[in-house]
Protein backbone atom coordinates (compact mmCIF):
# COMPACT_ATOMS: atom_id res chain seq x y z
CA UNK A 1 0.00 0.00 0.00
CA UNK A 2 2.84 2.40 0.84
CA UNK A 3 4.41 1.75 -2.56
CA UNK A 4 1.10 2.46 -4.28
CA UNK A 5 0.66 5.74 -2.37
CA UNK A 6 4.22 6.78 -3.20
CA UNK A 7 3.59 5.99 -6.87
CA UNK A 8 0.38 8.05 -6.87
CA UNK A 9 2.15 10.93 -5.12
CA UNK A 10 4.98 10.77 -7.67
CA UNK A 11 2.52 10.86 -10.58
CA UNK A 12 0.68 13.83 -9.05
CA UNK A 13 3.91 15.73 -8.45
CA UNK A 14 5.11 14.94 -11.96
CA UNK A 15 1.80 16.20 -13.36
CA UNK A 16 2.07 19.46 -11.38
CA UNK A 17 5.66 19.91 -12.54
CA UNK A 18 4.76 19.31 -16.18
CA UNK A 19 1.80 21.70 -15.99
CA UNK A 20 3.95 24.39 -14.35
CA UNK A 21 6.69 23.92 -16.94
CA UNK A 22 4.13 24.22 -19.73
CA UNK A 23 2.72 27.42 -18.21
CA UNK A 24 6.21 28.92 -17.93
CA UNK A 25 6.94 27.95 -21.52
CA UNK A 26 3.74 29.68 -22.67
CA UNK A 27 4.67 32.84 -20.74
CA UNK A 28 8.12 32.79 -22.33
CA UNK A 29 6.65 32.33 -25.81
CA UNK A 30 4.20 35.22 -25.34
CA UNK A 31 6.89 37.60 -24.10
CA UNK A 32 9.46 36.44 -26.63
CA UNK A 33 7.16 37.02 -29.60
CA UNK A 34 6.56 40.66 -28.54
CA UNK A 35 10.26 41.23 -27.92
CA UNK A 36 11.12 39.90 -31.38
CA UNK A 37 8.61 42.26 -33.01
CA UNK A 38 10.05 45.26 -31.20
CA UNK A 39 13.67 44.24 -31.86
CA UNK A 40 12.95 43.93 -35.58
CA UNK A 41 11.35 47.38 -35.59
CA UNK A 42 14.27 48.90 -33.69
CA UNK A 43 16.69 47.64 -36.35
CA UNK A 44 14.93 49.83 -38.91
CA UNK A 45 14.84 53.02 -36.81
CA UNK A 46 18.23 53.08 -35.08
CA UNK A 47 21.25 54.50 -36.90
CA UNK A 48 24.78 53.09 -36.82
CA UNK A 49 25.56 55.69 -34.14
CA UNK A 50 22.83 54.21 -31.91
CA UNK A 51 20.59 57.23 -32.40
CA UNK A 52 16.86 56.97 -32.96
CA UNK A 53 16.08 58.09 -36.52
CA UNK A 54 12.54 56.87 -37.01
CA UNK A 55 11.31 56.13 -40.51
CA UNK A 56 7.64 56.72 -39.81
CA UNK A 57 6.54 55.74 -43.30
CA UNK A 58 8.19 52.36 -42.87
CA UNK A 59 6.67 51.80 -39.42
CA UNK A 60 3.20 52.86 -40.49
CA UNK A 61 3.37 50.56 -43.50
CA UNK A 62 3.70 47.74 -40.99
CA UNK A 63 0.73 49.09 -39.06
CA UNK A 64 -0.96 52.50 -39.65
CA UNK A 65 -1.97 52.50 -35.97
CA UNK A 66 1.65 53.12 -34.90
CA UNK A 67 1.73 56.80 -33.85
CA UNK A 68 4.78 57.17 -31.59
CA UNK A 69 7.71 55.50 -29.88
CA UNK A 70 8.25 55.68 -26.12
CA UNK A 71 11.70 55.36 -24.58
CA UNK A 72 12.57 55.49 -20.87
CA UNK A 73 16.39 55.62 -20.47
CA UNK A 74 17.99 52.97 -18.27
CA UNK A 75 14.89 50.76 -18.37
CA UNK A 76 13.32 47.97 -20.42
CA UNK A 77 10.72 50.38 -21.84
CA UNK A 78 11.39 51.07 -25.52
CA UNK A 79 8.25 50.35 -27.53
CA UNK A 80 6.09 51.60 -30.37
CA UNK A 81 2.86 53.31 -29.30
CA UNK A 82 -0.32 52.43 -31.18
CA UNK A 83 -3.84 53.83 -31.13
CA UNK A 84 -6.89 51.74 -31.96
CA UNK A 85 -10.54 52.59 -32.44
CA UNK A 86 -11.22 51.38 -28.88
CA UNK A 87 -9.26 50.62 -25.70
CA UNK A 88 -9.78 46.86 -25.95
CA UNK A 89 -8.15 45.60 -29.13
CA UNK A 90 -4.53 46.30 -28.18
CA UNK A 91 -4.96 44.78 -24.73
CA UNK A 92 -4.34 41.40 -26.39
CA UNK A 93 -2.84 42.20 -29.79
CA UNK A 94 0.74 43.09 -30.67
CA UNK A 95 1.95 46.03 -32.76
CA UNK A 96 1.58 43.84 -35.84
CA UNK A 97 -1.95 42.82 -34.78
CA UNK A 98 -1.02 39.29 -33.70
CA UNK A 99 -2.96 37.69 -30.83
CA UNK A 100 -0.89 38.02 -27.66
CA UNK A 101 -1.89 38.48 -24.02
CA UNK A 102 0.91 41.00 -23.43
CA UNK A 103 -0.83 43.34 -25.84
CA UNK A 104 0.78 46.63 -26.87
CA UNK A 105 1.53 50.06 -25.50
CA UNK A 106 -1.40 52.16 -26.72
CA UNK A 107 -2.79 55.68 -26.61
CA UNK A 108 -6.29 56.18 -25.24
CA UNK A 109 -8.70 56.00 -28.18
CA UNK A 110 -10.35 59.30 -27.19
CA UNK A 111 -7.07 61.24 -27.35
CA UNK A 112 -5.80 63.15 -30.37
CA UNK A 113 -3.07 61.07 -32.02
CA UNK A 114 -0.76 64.13 -32.18
CA UNK A 115 -0.75 64.46 -28.35
CA UNK A 116 -2.40 67.89 -28.53
CA UNK A 117 -4.84 67.20 -25.67
CA UNK A 118 -4.17 68.60 -22.23
CA UNK A 119 -3.68 65.03 -21.01
CA UNK A 120 -2.73 62.13 -23.30
CA UNK A 121 -3.14 58.74 -21.62
CA UNK A 122 -0.93 55.81 -22.63
CA UNK A 123 -1.76 52.31 -21.37
CA UNK A 124 0.37 49.20 -21.02
CA UNK A 125 0.12 45.91 -19.13
CA UNK A 126 2.03 44.95 -16.02
CA UNK A 127 2.85 41.25 -15.83
CA UNK A 128 4.65 39.03 -13.33
CA UNK A 129 7.16 37.97 -15.98
CA UNK A 130 8.14 41.59 -16.71
CA UNK A 131 7.98 43.59 -19.90
CA UNK A 132 5.64 46.26 -21.26
CA UNK A 133 4.88 48.85 -18.49
CA UNK A 134 5.76 46.53 -15.57
CA UNK A 135 8.84 48.56 -14.58
CA UNK A 136 6.79 51.73 -13.99
CA UNK A 137 6.24 50.33 -10.49
CA UNK A 138 9.92 51.09 -9.82
CA UNK A 139 8.98 54.78 -9.58
CA UNK A 140 7.35 53.94 -6.26
CA UNK A 141 10.86 54.01 -4.83
CA UNK A 142 11.87 57.62 -4.20
CA UNK A 143 15.49 57.15 -5.24
CA UNK A 144 14.43 55.54 -8.54
CA UNK A 145 11.98 58.39 -9.09
CA UNK A 146 14.74 60.97 -8.61
CA UNK A 147 17.19 59.07 -10.81
CA UNK A 148 14.72 58.85 -13.73
CA UNK A 149 13.32 62.39 -14.06
CA UNK A 150 12.43 62.19 -17.75
CA UNK A 151 11.75 59.96 -20.74
CA UNK A 152 11.30 60.47 -24.49
CA UNK A 153 8.30 60.34 -26.76
CA UNK A 154 9.08 60.29 -30.47
CA UNK A 155 6.32 61.20 -32.95
CA UNK A 156 6.15 61.84 -36.71
CA UNK A 157 5.86 65.63 -36.26
CA UNK A 158 7.89 66.30 -33.11
CA UNK A 159 10.02 64.52 -30.54
CA UNK A 160 9.40 65.30 -26.88
CA UNK A 161 11.32 65.15 -23.65
CA UNK A 162 8.78 64.19 -21.01
CA UNK A 163 9.70 65.69 -17.65
CA UNK A 164 8.20 63.66 -14.81
CA UNK A 165 5.78 65.58 -12.59
CA UNK A 166 4.54 62.80 -10.34
CA UNK A 167 4.08 59.12 -9.65
CA UNK A 168 0.78 58.08 -8.07
CA UNK A 169 -1.20 55.04 -7.03
CA UNK A 170 -4.81 55.64 -8.07
CA UNK A 171 -8.02 53.95 -9.17
CA UNK A 172 -9.07 53.70 -12.79
CA UNK A 173 -11.48 56.47 -13.78
CA UNK A 174 -10.20 59.08 -11.34
CA UNK A 175 -9.31 62.64 -12.42
CA UNK A 176 -5.92 61.47 -13.70
CA UNK A 177 -7.82 59.93 -16.63
CA UNK A 178 -9.49 63.18 -17.74
CA UNK A 179 -8.18 64.27 -21.14
CA UNK A 180 -8.81 68.01 -20.72
CA UNK A 181 -8.73 70.08 -17.53
CA UNK A 182 -7.49 73.27 -15.93
CA UNK A 183 -3.77 72.65 -15.61
CA UNK A 184 -3.21 74.89 -12.57
CA UNK A 185 -5.94 73.10 -10.64
CA UNK A 186 -4.66 69.71 -11.71
CA UNK A 187 -1.10 70.51 -10.69
CA UNK A 188 -2.46 71.12 -7.20
CA UNK A 189 -4.26 67.77 -7.30
CA UNK A 190 -1.07 66.05 -8.42
CA UNK A 191 0.78 67.52 -5.47
CA UNK A 192 -1.96 66.54 -3.01
CA UNK A 193 -2.54 62.99 -4.22
CA UNK A 194 0.77 61.68 -5.56
CA UNK A 195 3.35 59.45 -3.93
CA UNK A 196 6.16 61.60 -5.36
CA UNK A 197 5.80 65.06 -6.88
CA UNK A 198 8.11 67.46 -8.74
CA UNK A 199 6.79 70.98 -9.20
CA UNK A 200 7.06 72.50 -12.68
CA UNK A 201 6.14 75.91 -14.05
CA UNK A 202 4.20 76.75 -17.22
CA UNK A 203 2.99 73.24 -17.94
CA UNK A 204 0.54 73.15 -20.86
CA UNK A 205 0.27 69.46 -21.74
CA UNK A 206 1.00 66.21 -19.96
CA UNK A 207 1.26 62.52 -20.79
CA UNK A 208 0.00 59.97 -18.28
CA UNK A 209 1.42 56.45 -18.39
CA UNK A 210 -0.98 53.97 -16.80
CA UNK A 211 -0.54 50.34 -15.78
CA UNK A 212 -2.04 47.83 -13.33
CA UNK A 213 -0.94 47.65 -9.71
CA UNK A 214 -0.32 43.90 -9.48
CA UNK A 215 -0.46 43.98 -5.66
CA UNK A 216 -4.25 44.10 -6.06
CA UNK A 217 -4.47 41.50 -8.84
CA UNK A 218 -4.78 41.64 -12.61
CA UNK A 219 -8.46 42.60 -12.65
CA UNK A 220 -8.57 45.27 -9.94
CA UNK A 221 -9.20 48.98 -10.56
CA UNK A 222 -5.93 50.02 -8.90
CA UNK A 223 -3.31 51.62 -11.14
CA UNK A 224 0.18 53.06 -11.13
CA UNK A 225 0.39 56.30 -13.10
CA UNK A 226 3.38 58.37 -14.15
CA UNK A 227 2.62 61.92 -15.28
CA UNK A 228 5.08 64.04 -17.27
CA UNK A 229 5.01 67.37 -19.10
CA UNK A 230 5.78 67.62 -22.81
CA UNK A 231 8.80 69.63 -23.92
CA UNK A 232 9.78 69.89 -27.58
CA UNK A 233 13.10 68.12 -28.07
CA UNK A 234 15.23 68.41 -31.21
CA UNK A 235 18.53 66.89 -30.04
CA UNK A 236 19.65 63.37 -31.05
CA UNK A 237 18.15 60.65 -28.84
CA UNK A 238 20.45 57.78 -27.96
CA UNK A 239 19.26 54.20 -27.68
CA UNK A 240 18.38 53.41 -24.09
CA UNK A 241 20.42 50.80 -22.25
CA UNK A 242 18.30 47.91 -21.02
Residue 152 has pLDDT above 60, yes or no: yes
Any idea where the domains of the chain sit in the sequence?
32-232
Residue 242 has pLDDT above 80, yes or no: no
40-132-95 Cα angle (round to 5): 45
138-141-143 Cα angle (round to 5): 110
Gap between the Cα atoms of 221 and 90, Å rounded = 18
Residue 229 has pLDDT above 50, yes or no: yes
The helix (run of H) or strand (run of E) holding residue 206 is strand 206-212
Residues 6+ apart with CB under 8 A from 91: 103, 125
The model's pTM is: 0.85
Q: Which CATH superfamily is domain 32-232 in?
A: Sortase (2.40.260.10)
- pLDDT, position 241: 52
Amino acid sequence: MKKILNSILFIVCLGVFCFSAFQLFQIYQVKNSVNKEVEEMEKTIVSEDNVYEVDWDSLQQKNPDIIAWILIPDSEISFPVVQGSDNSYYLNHTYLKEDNNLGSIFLNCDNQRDFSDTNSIIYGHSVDSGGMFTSIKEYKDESYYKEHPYYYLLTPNQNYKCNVICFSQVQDGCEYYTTNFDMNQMMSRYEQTSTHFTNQENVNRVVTLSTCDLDYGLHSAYRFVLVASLENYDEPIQVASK
